[in-house]
């Protein structure tokens, strides 16, 4: 038994033993359940900075859409069967899912959004990354993915989300540069 199967069985083996954990795992697997937190965050974002919300929201939608499309393409290239296809005694809480497993699109999409926000708003990580972790682990818990599928998704999504946000931060229409009064005697570009 490889490490991936060992991790899968360790996490998925708990499924079915706690109705609360089963409910949480199932609810985290439903993308529609993220709608209310997303709307609440968008409303706050619009209230704090309308320009960044409009531009950033459109970019974020594109980032998540591109990440999802890339994840789907990678699944077709890698063609790794899901654990429910290759392993016996898998606790499937929501059925087996699509044909292929690597990478987890749930993990990739949430990581792309979290990385996007982390680069733009560094303090957002204390909310977003625990949610990303919970959703990723839930994919293994419900029997849909191996743990390395989730890790691969986090890596793909994190790189895409952080990369796009890094470029967005440097775009002056998104976040105009404000000129601050310099100290007397300080030169432009000095590190003093």
Per-residue pLDDT tens listing for the chain (192 residues)? 689 899 999 999 889 888 999 999 999 888 788 777 778 888 887 888 888 888 888 889 999 999 999 999 999 999 999 998 888 888 888 877 778 999 999 999 999 999 999 998 888 888 889 999 999 999 999 999 999 999 999 999 999 999 999 988 887 767 766 655 555 555 544 444
Alpha-carbon gap, residue 98 to 2, rounded angstroms: 23
Beta carbons of 129 and 114 less than 8 angstroms apart: yes
Beta carbons of 149 and 139 less than 8 angstroms apart: yes
Alpha-carbon gap, residue 114 to 131, rounded angstroms: 9
Peptide bond just before 108 cis, omega within 30 deg: no
pLDDT tens digits, 22-77: 999 999 888 788 777 778 888 887 888 888 888 888 889 999 999 999 999 999 99
Q: Taking Cα atoms as reference points, which of 152, 144, 191 lies closest to residue 25?
A: 144
């Amino acid at each position: 038994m490889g490490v991936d199967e060992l991790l899968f069985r360790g996490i998925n083996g708990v499924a079915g033993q706690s109705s609360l954990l089963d409910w949480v795992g199932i609810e985290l697997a439903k993308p529609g359940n993220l709608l209310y937190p997303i709307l609440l965050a968008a409303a706050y974002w619009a209230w704090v900075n309308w320009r960044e919300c409009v531009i950033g929201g459109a970019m974020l939608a594109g980032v998540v859409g591109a990440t999802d499309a890339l994840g789907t393409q990678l699944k077709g290239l890698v063609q790794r069967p899901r654990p429910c296809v290759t392993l016996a005694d898998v606790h499937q809480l929501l059925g087996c899912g699509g044909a292929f497993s690597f990478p987890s699109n749930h993990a990739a999409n949430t990581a792309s959004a979290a990385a996007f926000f982390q680069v733009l708003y560094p303090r957002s990580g204390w909310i977003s990354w625990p949610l990303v972790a919970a959703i990723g682990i839930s994919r293994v818990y419900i029997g849909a993915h191996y743990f390395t599928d989730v890790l691969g998704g986090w890596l793909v999504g994190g790189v895409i989300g952080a990369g796009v946000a890094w470029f967005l931060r440097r775009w002056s229409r998104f976040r105009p540069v404000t000129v601050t009064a310099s100290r007397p005697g300080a030169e432009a570009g000095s590190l003093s």
